Amino acid sequence: MQKTLYLVILLAQFLCLGCARVQQQAADDTMEDGIQSESSEQNSDCANCGMPSLEFPKWVSRADEHYFCSPRCLFLKIQKEPEIKSAKSLTVMDYYEAKVIAASNAFFVIGSDITGPMGHDFVPFTDEAAAKDFLKEHKGIKILRMANINETVIKEVMDL
Ligand SMILES: [Zn+2]
């Protein structure tokens, strides 16, 4: 009789453990869901023109939590709100390497036959030699650093 009782207690403990594990699993799932919904809630529409920036992975640019569909929209926004320039992280995509690079390190080719989501754009490269190759191959006009990109230059690109 005592042995049966002991077995019942053991069984109960075992079931309880199992149920704790299921609860833990459920908690983990909820946490993952929480993280997923948080990231999908983050607004990735272009902070300048409102286009869904993630649809243009080769052009997507960022200033901290703000997304832009292209370097052009990023620079347009900086003209309107210069404080964006002091964002901790200001990034664009290297056109050949398809990787995120700091806008301040990039060489931008303008006037080429390659257009971005908004038309003529600033095509970014980490490597100056790559920018020169691209300029030759795609009939670019010139190479600019971020420090040289001002209202006049932006207007020049938009009027191409
Ligand atoms: Zn845009």
- 13 and 83 part of one domain: no
Specify the pLDDT at position 6.
Answer: 55
Residues spanned by the domain of 26: 1-41
Pair (59, 91) in one structural domain = yes
Strands 90-93 and 107-110: unpaired
Q: How far is the CA of 36 from the centre of ligand 1 (A)?
A: 25
88 and 132, same domain (yes or no)? yes
Q: Are 125 and 80 within one domain?
A: yes
Amino acid found at 106? A
How much distance in Å is there from the Cα of 56 to the middle of ligand 1? 10
> Does residue 48 lie in a domain region?
no
Cα–ligand 1 centroid distance for 84 (angstroms)? 15
Task: For residues 144 and 66, give the distance between their C-alpha atoms in angstroms, rounded to a whole number.
Answer: 23
Please give the distance, rounded to the nearest whole angstrom, from the Cα atom of residue 105 to the centre of ligand 1. 21
> How many A from CA of 51 to the centre of ligand 1?
6
- Residue 46 falls inside a structural domain: no
111 located within any domain: yes
82/135 same-domain check: yes
Is 153 in the same domain as 74? yes
In this structure, are 141 and 66 located in the same domain?
A: yes
**Segment holding 123, helix H or strand E:** strand 123-125
Answer yes or no: do 2 and 37 share one domain: yes
pTM of the model: 0.74
C-alpha of residue 43 to centroid of ligand 1, in Å: 13
- Is residue 75 domain-shared with residue 136, that is, in the same domain? yes
Domain count, the chain: 2
Distance 66 CA to ligand 1 centre (A): 11
pLDDT at 143 over 90: yes
Among the listed ranges 25-29, 73-77, 124-128, which one has the minimum average pLDDT value? 25-29
The alpha carbon of 14 and the centre of ligand 1 are apart by a number of angstroms equal to 58
CA 30/CA 112 separation, integer angstroms: 48
pLDDT digits (tens, 9 = 90+) for 54-72: 999 999 999 999 999 999 9
